[in-house]
Amino acid sequence: MKIFKNQKTLKQYISTLNNRTIGFVPTMGALHNGHLSLVKKAKEETDIVICSIFVNPTQFNESSDFDNYPITHQKDISILENADCDVLYLPSNVEDVYLNEVDFSVDLGLLADVMEGEKRPGHFDGVMRVVKLLFEITTPNKAFFGLKDFQQYSVIRKMVKDLKMEIDIVGCEIIREQNGLAMSSRNALLSDNEKIDALVLSDVLKYLQKNCRVGDIRSFLVEGMNELFKVGTPEYLIVAEAETLKPVITLVKDVKYRAFVVSKIGNVRLIDNVEIFI
């Protein structure tokens, strides 16, 4: 695996690839099997896989969240080597990523006003800023995103469409622990007891998946929130249209839905979602 610490030498290397297709997997490190599933998918669908590890300061609303984000570079490098990743972009500083930034604007509409957009103002502006720059640095044909961050996936798709970027955005299914907990870099910050408590997120989503059918679903959302409050501090539990992310309380036929949950377990903010089958 080739490792590049600055975008100049990475771009020089990419210029030698002779039109081979590039798959890109952006990460913030602290890698787990969820990330590896993205690398595997990229290996299957493209010729060269580039992964990035960069903890982006512009997408954090709380400085403490940024400061506490786990940094495990040596372990991550070993994991990527074992996964047969071809290239790692590990910028030596923030300035290298933002070196050639040009202002742009994307109207996210409802995507910026619900769930994470509402709870974390400016978050998706920071996400779009860094992902656009990483796309410009790595020039991928396809980019791979985990659907655990479904709203982020939706935002990136909107950005790519609006800016007419010729990149295929591939959504990859959520990878879970055997007990159902969605894999996340933040899981490493949980104590053993908190990891058990965190199962409430996936349990509540399974409950909604099992019970939500055509009609009013408010009672199921109330019951789910009650369960979340028993072990954590929930921020929201929402069922939304999968295409627009418009929250709903009544389900109708022939519309795709997803259920979304965010809750703090101890001091760790966790997110998860599932598809709702009507």
CATH number at residue 218: 3.30.1300.10
Three-state SS string across the chain, please? CEEECCHHHHHHHHCCCCCCCEEEEEECCCCCHHHHHHHHHHHHHCCEEEEEECCCHHHCCCHHHHHCCCCCHHHHHHHHHHCCCCEEECCCCHHHHCCCCCCCCCCCHHHHCCCHHHHCCCHHHHHHHHHHHHHHHHCCCEEEEEHHHHHHHHHHHHHHHHCCCCCEEEEECCCECCCCCECCHHHHHCCHHHHHHCHHHHHHHHHHHHHCCCEECHHHHHHHHHHHHHHCEEEEEEEEECCCCCEECEECCCCCEEEEEEEEECCEEEEEEEEECC
The total of structural domains in the chain comes to 2
Query: Which CATH number goes with the domain that contains 18?
Result: 3.40.50.620
- From 32, 35, 73, 123, active-site residue: 35
Same domain, 116 and 245: no
- pLDDT, tens digit (0-9, with 9 covering 90-100), for 110-128: 999 999 999 998 899 999 9
Domain end residue (candidates: 172, 198, 221): 172
- To the query of whether residue 73 is one of the catalytic residues in this protein, the response is no
Supply the mean pLDDT for the chain. Answer: 95
**What pLDDT, on a 0 to 100 scale, did the predictor assign at position 19?**
87
226 located within any domain: yes
233 close to 240: Cβ distance less than 8 angstroms: no
38 located within any domain: yes
Same domain, 143 and 229: no
180 located within any domain: no
Residue whose C-alpha is closest to residue 31's, from 66, 57, 55: 55
278 located within any domain: no
Same domain, 239 and 132: no
Same domain, 265 and 165: no
29 located within any domain: yes
Pairing of strands 215-216, 87-89: unpaired
Same domain, 88 and 212: no
- pLDDT bin (cut points 50, 70, 90) of residue 149 is very high
Range of the domain at 139: 2-172
| pLDDT, average across residues 125-154 | 97
Same domain, 159 and 47: yes
Same domain, 96 and 212: no
Same domain, 108 and 29: yes
Percent of the chain scoring above 90 in pLDDT? 89
- pLDDT, tens digit (0-9, with 9 covering 90-100), for 260-274: 999 999 999 999 999
Same domain, 214 and 100: no
15 located within any domain: yes
178 located within any domain: no
Percent of the chain scoring above 70 in pLDDT? 99
The HSE-up count of residue 210 (CA atoms within 13 Å, CB side) is 7
- pLDDT, tens digit (0-9, with 9 covering 90-100), for 55-76: 988 888 777 677 777 789 999 9
What global pTM score does this model have? Answer: 0.93
Same domain, 67 and 168: yes
Same domain, 59 and 196: no
277 located within any domain: no
Same domain, 265 and 197: yes
* Lowest-confidence pick of 109-123, 153-167, 192-206: 109-123
